[in-house]
Amino acid sequence: MLSNLMPAILLSITACFMIFIFAPLEIYLGNQREFWYDSYTLFPFLIKDFLFFVAVSIVVHIIAYFLGEFLYTAALYCYFTCFIACYIQGNYLVNSLPPFDGTQIDWNLYRSENIKCIIIWLIIAIILLALVIIIKAKKFQKLVSFVSVFFFLMLGSTLTVVGINGGLLEQKQYSRFIKSNQFEMSKDTNFIILLLDAIDEESFWQVWEQHPEYEEAMADFTFYNNAMSGYAYTAHSLPLIVSGEWFENDEPYEDYYLRIYRDSSFFNRLEEHGYSLSIYDDSLQFKLGTMDDEFANMIYTKSTLSDEKLFNTRIIKMTGIKYAPYFLKPYCWFDPAKLNYQNMGATDEELFVWTNDAFYKDVQNNEITYVDGKRFKLIHLMGAHVPFYYDQYVNEVDDADYYTCIESSMTVTIAYLNKLREAGVYDNSIILVLSDHGYNTSDGAAKIAHIDEDQNGRQHPILFIKGLNESHEMNISGAPISYADLVEAYYKLMDGQLSDNCFDYREGDYRERRYLLYKYLDEDHMVEYMQTGYAGDEDTLIPTGRVFNAK
C-alpha cells in the first residue's frame, strides 16, 4: 500500500513545497525592499501551511485509493495536471500580470490572457491524459514519482542558491517614523513640506475651478503651475526634492537613498541653523544603526503582527497572483499597502500612516504644542495615489476616483493650514505644498488605473510656496521651475526671501528642464528627456539620446 501511495506522497510534498514554501519565498526575495517583514516572520506560516496541505493531499489520495485504482489514478492525474500547469503559469506566464501596486484592476482587459490560460491548461490536461492512456496507470504513477522528485530537487536547490545570495536569512530590524511631535511647533521658525502624492497639475486645476474657496484658503502662497518633476515615481522624486541630487544608476539605489537622507546638504543646512528634523512617511525605513539621531521622530521597531490569520491569508493570495490560473487571480488581488498596516511598533508610540484619513483625524483630534528651537517637518501623504479611496470629505467610498482624491487632499491641506493659523504658527512658517510627480488620467485611469499606464504624463506636479511672514492674495506664476531648483529655493526662503522671489527664473523665461524617465518596476533603465516647453506638454518633451542603465 505504501509503495502504491508513494507517487501521491511525493507529488503532495513537491506541489505543496512549490506553492506554500518556494513561491512565497521567491516573491519575498524578489521584492525584499517592498516588504517590512523578514523571512523569520514568514517561516512559521509557510511551514504550518505546507504541513497542513501535504496532510490533506495525502488523505484525499488515500481515500481515493481505497475507493478503487481507477479513482486513485484519476485523482493523481488531476493533481499532477494542476501541479504542472501551476508551475508553467507561475514561471512562464507572468509578464502580462497587472501592476501589484494597489491599482484597481479592470479584469475585463484580461480576457485574452484568461483565454490563453485556459488553452494552455487544456493542452497540458490533454497531453497528460493521452500519456495515461498510452503508458497505462502503473507506469504513469512511476512517472509522477520521478517527476515529483526531480521538481523537488530543482526547486529546493534553486531556493537554496537564491536564498543564500539574496539574504534570505537576514533579519530585518529597522528604524521607522512615528507620529511623535507631529503637532509640535516652534514660535521661532518652522519649515514644513506637505507632500501630496501623485497630484497632476492639469487635473488639479480642473478640480480647482470647481472650488472657488480654495483660492482664499491658499492666500499668501505662490502657485507655480509650470513646475517640472525630475522623475515619474516617488522612489526617485522624493530624494531629489530633499537634496537636488540626481540618481543616474551609477551606484546601488540603496547607497544613494541612504546617503541622501543621512548626508543631504539641505538637511545639514537645517541642522546648522538650529532646526530639529522630523519626517512623517510610512514607506521610508532604514537598517538599524544607519540613521541614529538623524530625525527626532525615528525609533527602532522590530515588527510584530496585528492579525496573524489575515497576514497568512494575504501571503497565500500573493502566491495565487503568480501561480493561480487567470480566472482565480481576481480573488487573489488585494492592496499590498494593507500588509503595511499589520505592522506594529515595538513601543507604545504609533507608527505614522500616510493615508489622507489618518492624518485628517490627527489634525482634528490633536492640538498644537509650542517648543523652543526651530522645527522642520516633511509630511508625505497619500494624496491622489492609487487606489482611489476618498471623497471630498475624506470619507472612504466605493465610487471614489482620482478627482475626488484630489479634493480630499485639499480638504486635509486646508484643515492643516487653518490649524497652523489658529495656533499662531502660520506666519513664522515656511510652507511648501507640493506633489512628487503628476499622473496620467488618459484611457479612463481617473477611475481605474489603466493596465498600459506607464511613465508618460507624470512630469507635471503641483507646487505651492509660502515664505516667512508672507501675506497677500494667492499668486500664480508660470516660471519654468525644475524640482532640481528646490534646494536652492529652500535656502533663499530660510534667508527671508518671499515665495515669488525664491527661484532664479521668471515667467516667460526659456529654459530646458531635465527629466529621467523609466517605466514602473524597470528603474534600471532610465532615459533622459529635456522639456523645452510647458511642463505638461508631451510634444515638447524631447529625448536627448542619453540612457542610464544599472551596472
pLDDT tens figures, 164-187: 888 888 877 777 888 888 999 999
Measured in degrees and rounded to the nearest 5, phi and psi for residue 463 equal -150, 110
Map residue 339 onto helix, strand or coil: helix
| Residue 543, beta-bridge partner list | 529
Over 70: is that where the pLDDT of 337 sits?
no
- For residues 62-77, give the mean pLDDT: 94
pLDDT confidence bin for 521, thresholds 50/70/90: confident
DSSP-derived letter for residue 246 is: -
Query: pLDDT band for position 455 (50/70/90)?
Result: low
Of residues 409 and 340, more confidently modeled = 409
pLDDT band for 111, please (50, 70, 90 cuts).
confident
Average pLDDT of the residues of the chain: 90
Instruction: Inform me whether the pLDDT recorded for 343 exceeds 60.
Output: no
* pLDDT score recorded for residue 347: 46
DSSP 480: -
Q: What is the pLDDT of residue 18?
A: 96
pLDDT band at 38 (very low <50, low <70, confident <90, very high): confident
Section 122-128 average pLDDT: 94
Helices in 369-401 by DSSP H: which ranges? none
Cα dist. 235→54, 148, 232, 238, 523 in Å?
Answer: 41, 42, 9, 6, 10
Q: Which band of pLDDT confidence, cut at 50, 70 and 90, is reported for residue 230?
A: very high
Angle at which helix 39-66 crosses helix 308-323, to 10 degrees, equals 70
Per-residue pLDDT of 233-258, as tens digits, reads 999 999 999 999 999 999 999 899 99
Does the structure show a pLDDT above 70 at 270?
yes
Mean pLDDT of 526-546: 96
Q: What is the mean pLDDT of residues 315-340?
A: 84
pLDDT at 144 > cutoff 60: yes
* Three-class SS of 255-322: HHHHHHHHHCHHHHHHHHCCEEEEEECCCCCEECCCCCCCCCCEEEECCEECCHHHHHHHHHHHHHHH
Confidence bin at 451 (pLDDT 50/70/90): very low
Range with the largest mean pLDDT of 119-133, 162-176, 407-421, 520-534? 407-421
pLDDT at 348: 45
pLDDT higher than 50, residue 196: yes
- Residue 444's pLDDT is 79
The amino acid sitting at 475 is N
pLDDT of res. 303 = 57
- Among 80-94, 110-124, 161-175, 405-419, the range with the most confident prediction by mean pLDDT is 405-419
Q: Tell me the mean pLDDT in the region 390-416.
A: 96
For residues 489-518, average pLDDT: 96
Query: Which DSSP string do the residues of 37-105 spell out, in sequence order?
Result: --HHHHHHHHHHHHHHHHHHHHHHHHHHHHT-HHHHHHHHHHHHHHHHHHHHHHHHS-TTPPP-SS---
As a whole-number percent, the residues of the chain with pLDDT over 70 amount to 94
pLDDT for 283:
84
Radius of gyration for the alpha carbons in the chain, expressed in angstroms and rounded: 27
